[in-house]
Structure 1
Amino acid sequence: MTTLSIFDAHNPEAAPAITHDPGEIAAQLNSKGVRFERWPTQNLPADAAPVEILEAYSAEIAKLKAESGFQTADVISLNPDNPQKEAFRKKFLDEHTHSEDEVRFFVRGQGIFYLHLGDQVFAVQCQKNDLISVPEGTRHWFDMGPEPEFTCIRLFTNPEGWVAEFTGDNIAGQLPRYEALEGEAV
């Protein structure tokens, strides 16, 4: 279930406000300039190839490209049996920004985007059919958990793909990780 947990950035151990209502999640995030929406399910096999996934969502991808100037779309997938899963997880766990919007559509599985917006941190556990677009310059990080299980479509304006500027802020280490939120709030 998609979940939004809102933490006080100055008091991260305080209990967060939590909602599971997709409409409320979209309204909260949209009010902060973060695009969040649910796309209809496409009938794809569990082992669908990236080209099949991109074809199944071609209309939605074309719409986003036209609206926001994205140049490329690809598919990233990670499973618990990946021998580099710990390194991949660590790569995204520190707070960073990008010079372009970070767009992810969850084809399967889940992961948590943490958005550091002013005095709050919005932890969005995205699930299958969730689209999130984190605006350029937004301080954030991503936690896929210790046993990652997801497939996402990514869109980029920069042909180099994912390029991060790390902030050096240690807030990501002060908030509950995937395991705590997945077990308690979701």
Structure 2
Amino acid sequence: MAQIHIRNTGERIRGEAEVKAFLDKQGVLYEHWDINQIPDRLQNKFTLSDTEKEEVLASLDNDIKRLASTRGYIKWDVITLSEATPDLDALLKKFEQVHTHTEDEVRAITAGSGVFIIKGAPEVGYFDVELEAGDVISVPENNPHFFTLTSEKKVVAIRLFIDPSGWVAHPFADPAFA
């Protein structure tokens, strides 16, 4: 289950209802999906073939299509990151820079864990949303953020897009980011 760490105060927010309420106030969508719909042999597997990725998508098809129909997403895929990913550390350095997009950035974590660092309202500042399997988040367009992995260094996630070509990161220099 997701939890939040507010960087300015050190406060931690736990519990699905509390996390959802906080994120709602920040304009960030949060849901929790039942990942037990994914076949057992694919759960906690961090190297997936294209066929296995399609199986993950098919197993969560109802959730994906429901979210897509309410938010306008027209394309989705599965990404995997783990020690098997070539140049993982270099790739993470590229991710770990505050940026924005011209559409929502959506992740549904199906295995492993990750962290979204998001700029909140002025009174909140930056906060970390620590995600694990089943957690779904949508960071609104033009909202400064970045995504990285936890110390576990492995994740499988579904990404959903409005623009079929995918999103492009726009660097966001922010002296408030610490």
Q: Could you tell me the TM-score, scaled by structure 1's length?
A: 0.83
Alignment partners' CA distance in 1, 2:83 and 2:152 = 5
The structure 1 residue matched to 2:23, chosen from 29, 48, 54, is 29
State which drifts further: 117-126 or 104-113: 117-126
Letter in 2 for 1:75: V
Query: Deviation per CA, 1:47-71, whole angstroms, max 9, x where unpaired?
Result: 4611001100111111112111111
The percentage of aligned residue pairs carrying the same residue is 34
Deviant stretches of 4+, over 4 Å: none
Q: Contact 1:103–1:134 (CA<8 Å) still a contact in 2? A: yes
1:88 matched to 2:91: yes
Q: CA 1:139 to 1:95, structure 2 compared with 1: closer, same or farther past 3 Å?
A: same
Deviates more, 1:75-84 or 1:26-35: 75-84
Q: Which of residues 26, 43, 57 in structure 2 aligns to 1:54?
A: 57
Say if 2:158 is the partner of 1:153: yes
Asked if residue 38 in structure 1 is aligned to residue 32 in structure 2, the reply is yes
Tell me the CA shift for residue 118 of structure 1: 3.0
Alpha-carbon RMSD across the aligned residues, in angstroms, is 1.7
Structure 1: tracts of 5 or more residues without a match? 9-14, 175-186
Aligned letter for 2:99? H
Judge conservation of contact 1:95–1:170 (CA < 8 Å) in 2.
Answer: no
Deviations 1:59-107 (A, max 9, x none): 1111112111111000000112323101220111111000001110000
Aligned counterpart in structure 1 of residue 72 of structure 2, from 69, 72, 84:
69
Q: Is the 8 A contact 2:26 2:121 kept in 1?
A: no
Q: Hey, what does 1:6 align to over in structure 2?
A: 6
Within 2, Cα distance between the matches of 1:43 and 1:3? 23
| TM-score (ref. length: structure 2) | 0.87
Residue deviations 1:19-50 (CA, integer Å, cap 9, x gap): 22121001100111110011112242234611
How far off is 1:171 after superposition?
Answer: 4.9
